[in-house]
């Protein structure tokens, strides 16, 4: 079984990606489990592709520079960058989704700001999509980049207690439940992250 290291420190993302990658015969560990320093990686990119590459390559560099991490010197690193793009807001919050309401903001802060920004916008014009870009990098510099999107709409109030982030406000096309109302297994089958991982599998094959 192959080992892959997830660059993310977000426990929710780690849990979701682990659940999906198991079927691809990867033994997945987080950067924390690998003993990689927990220094924040500054996401300076203007696209999801740029930010996912920045995160993955930074972990590769940390492993190469630390002799105590030699057992991972041949392991690929997987990083994802995800966000919500709302049509009526010209694609915002986009790459700033996690800090839409400012540095140190909570999921609730972001959801409230989004609802305020869409005040008065009719449901017919609340189209949106969740986007995930996954970058998988090997120590030799080779890489795979996979993008997944899930189309849907933003509703006018939060519904559901599952999931995280903007999940209580997002209903995917073809469904009546928000991501936060869906069972995790159902969400994982159609989510932007699942679709990005499906694309990654095709690239790996």
Report the pLDDT value the prediction gives residue 11, as an integer from 0 to 100.
76
Rounded to the nearest 5 degrees, what angle is found at the Cα of 190, between the Cα atoms of 184 and 192? 100
Catalytic residue annotation: 81
Report the pLDDT value the prediction gives residue 1, as an integer from 0 to 100.
76
The domains of the chain, with CATH numbers, are 2-204 (3.90.950.10)
75 phi and psi, to 5 degrees? -85, 140
**CA–CA separation, 72 and 155 (whole Å):** 44
What six digits make up the tokens of 141? 């510099």
Cα of 94 vs its chain's centroid, Å: 12
What does the pLDDT profile of the chain (205 residues) look like in tens digits?
788 899 877 777 777 777 777 777 788 888 999 999 877 788 889 999 999 999 999 999 999 999 999 999 999 999 999 999 999 999 999 999 999 999 999 999 999 999 999 999 998 999 999 999 999 999 999 999 999 999 999 999 999 999 899 999 999 999 999 999 999 889 988 999 889 988 988 888 7
Instruction: Find all residues with CB under 8 Å of 90, minimum gap 6, and list them.
Output: none
DSSP secondary structure letter of residue 93? B
**CA–CA separation, 17 and 5 (whole Å):** 11
Report the pLDDT value the prediction gives residue 19, as an integer from 0 to 100.
76
pTM (global) more than 0.85: yes
């Amino acid at each position: 079984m192959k080992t892959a290291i997830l660059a993310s420190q977000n426990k929710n993302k780690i849990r979701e990606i682990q659940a999906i990658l198991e079927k691809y015969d990867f033994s997945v560990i987080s950067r924390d489990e690998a003993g990689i320093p927990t220094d924040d990686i500054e996401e300076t990119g203007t696209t999801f592709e740029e930010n996912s590459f920045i995160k993955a390559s930074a972990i590769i560099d940390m492993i190469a520079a630390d002799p105590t991490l030699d057992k991972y010197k041949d392991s690929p690193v997987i990083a994802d960058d995800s966000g919500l793009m709302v049509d009526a807001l010209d694609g915002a919050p986009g790459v700033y989704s996690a800090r839409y309401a400012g540095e140190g903001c909570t999921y609730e802060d972001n959801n409230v700001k989004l609802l305020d920004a869409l005040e008065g916008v009719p449901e017919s014009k609340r189209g949106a999509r969740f986007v995930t870009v996954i970058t998988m990098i090997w120590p030799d510099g080779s890489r795979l980049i996979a993008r997944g999107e899930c189309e849907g709409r933003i509703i006018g109030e939060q519904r559901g207690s599952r999931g995280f982030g903007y999940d209580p406000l997002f209903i995917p096309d073809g469904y009546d439940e928000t991501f936060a109302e869906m069972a995790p297994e159902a969400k994982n089958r159609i989510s932007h992250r699942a679709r990005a991982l499906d694309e990654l599998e095709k690239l790996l094959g």
